[in-house]
Structure 1
Amino acid sequence: MGMRQRARHLFLIARVHEVALKGANRPWFMRTLVGNLEYALSGLPHGRIQVRNLRVLVPLSELESWPAFRERLDWVFGVSSYGLALETGTSVQSLTAGLDRLLELTGPPPGSFCVRVKRTNKGYPLTSPELERILGQHIQERTGAPVNLTAPTVTYRVDLLYDRALLTGEEYRGPGGLPVGVSGRVVVLLSGGFDSPVAAYRMMKRGCFLTLVHCHAYPYVRPTSIEKVISIAQHLGRYQPGMRLHIVPIGDAQREIALAAPPELRVVLYRRLMLRIATAIAHEQGAGAIVTGESLGQVSSQTLENMRAIGAVTDLPLLRPLVGFNKDEIMAEAVRIGTEPISRIRDDDCCTVFVPLHPTAHATLEEATAAERLFDPAALVQACLARRTDYDGDPATWDVSAALLAATG
């Protein structure tokens, strides 16, 4: 009871960065951010989320849940930094008492510190530097910690509003970017590899709402890629409410392509098929673009010539957020966002089915178009989509069985 009473005016304070630059659209961006915070923090004890200028305040009823809140805040794009905050009055006496209380809750600074004051109320009788000196001296007398104005271990922030002040201790970096949903919906072609999960993450960071599409060749190969993609989707689903995943079997279509088309063009034709499937789902769901994990020159299908021949089949913008990244950079990002252990599991990529010994690295659009006259691409797309498996709702409930049944049914 004592902790709950002491924490009555305790908040999680989240600060924004890019949202601050959005002018007249800022209220909508902030509403979207609040909705994403509510999704990420569901199940944790907190009060009604509030917006104060460019700060989001989450009232906390207890301090014991703080580690869980810290973990969840790393899932919310649009948050540049966050920390524990106390709400106090604006007098110097109230501010010093609030700092005493904050130090009781969080402990003294583990090293050096400084105080930074930001005054919304420019009519306050003390300037920001004057107040910083007073409050800094108070913390130093109480804790004995040294002051460091250039590279402090902890920065104590004082947001001085008109009717109250917010005191923040140690702050933590958030994921930054834009709130998921403000940039519209995109369809991501998601494989079980390292690249496309990183591309998906980066598009969410730019505010895009994702629909994930995975094309697989089961039962011609093992179902491992399906299992991996479901796990990746569950991992990425922490960042946005309402994640959707569509798993589409294309093995039979690949077999028909392999029987009809020149061997060296098969991989390009497989990828054109997958892009047509993603485009159909995008139109169905009102998505504005297709996203892939392609990196220029990484494999034979990702040369400029092949990328042009593949991308020509969609009428939507084709976004390649990793196009200028090398493999080491992509792997480092996969490690950082937590998808690398899943992607590392060995599987059979669908493009390895019926693959020739020497796939072309320089397909032309004319060659790809001519090869597709030997079969019916539109009919293959429809046949694949007819056997797709759609996942939505709670990602924790998704399993591989429905997709395997659809692929063999």
Structure 2
Amino acid sequence: MRKNNTINDMFSPNMREVITVQVGQCGNQIGKEFWNKIAFEHGISKNGDLIEAKEGDRKDAFFYETEDNKFMPRAILVDLEPRVIDSFSETFYNHENVFIDSSGGGAGNNWALGYSKGLEFKEDILDIVQREAECSDNMESFMFMHSIAGGTGSGLGSNLLENIRELYPKKIIQSYSIFPNNKEISDVVVQPYNSMLTLQRLALYSDTVIVIDNGALTRINSKKTDFNNFTMINDLISTVISTSTSTLRFPTHYLSDIRSINAILVPIDRFKFIIPSYTPFINSTVNRRTDSLDILRKLLSKTNRLATTEDSKINKTISIVNILSGMDCDDIQKGVINVLDKGLINFVDWIPPSYHYVKTKLEKRAGLALNNGTEVAGLLRNTMDQFDRLKRKNAFTEMYRKYSDDLHEFDECKEVIQNLIDAYDTL
């Protein structure tokens, strides 16, 4: 059973819970690394024991305490086959919040099959979502983790995104969406279909989409760390996610809730696709001292972006939020002034330059930039070009006709994403 909150907790302005929704193999693998990372930061063991209390933290935003003084993640784990979730050694998850298709067949990398499974299991999954939401006192947002290219994370994830938006129209939905490497030939031949169909839902139903692509992850991992495997890549992603939530878990005087971050980062609802940058992406055994200006400049560099973009003088920035740690406030302020004075950022001209920073309480000297700008249009355009090449020949469409009498979804998703690209191009 969950321990009841005190009156002070229930009415605290900082008490804004976040429920994570991990869908599919990719989403659950990332989620596992994320929870291990933030549990360590809050002094919580893998079986939920509080080993070391951290002063001033708000672990209750992401964990709840049980009657036997265990801390459990506010996490919902969804998959259509059991392999990944069954491999978790951590025991602090609430097993009532885990949904696995008993048939264990998966979605076969087919968005349409994943979506139809979402329809089939809608009530079962939403029962978990509603129960978790009802156990929160002041739930602020849902945080999705998934891939857009496979079957479960894309198809079932799309259906679940629609359903949660319908049930909770005023809650923020923030998605950490893993894009495929568009520059490599994939084993999943229908990857462009899956991606476009998922992008349509993200464009329509999410509030913020943090874009991370496998091409950039592979490049960063091979150049900036001593290892090159999926575990390290998932660790890179979880580092970005944990850093982006650090001001919620260790509140500061500024940007300590998702709604305030979103208000700055996404001033216009339509432009919600955010590209993160992080530094330093190096093995922990390497120790290099850098000042705030160096960190801020690196966060603007293409080499530290977690999405593959093309440098262009016509790219413009709508807003940037920098989350920094391990630095002196005066040093940060000097770095910010230097960046702005040198004109290193090409801002849109219809709003004042929107360049913000917040210093977290974490000790590691590092920085995360969340960049809302027009360069994401290139990534969307590449995805649509691959989609068009398949659709022009009606290649592999029979895989989708099994679950729908017509292919109107294909036309609808292309229209939505084409309109979005056109809108970015006008900025």
Q: Which has the larger radius of gyration?
A: 1
Q: Same fold (TM over 0.5)?
A: no
TM-score if structure 1 supplies the norm length? Answer: 0.26
Using the size of structure 2 for normalisation, the TM-score is 0.25
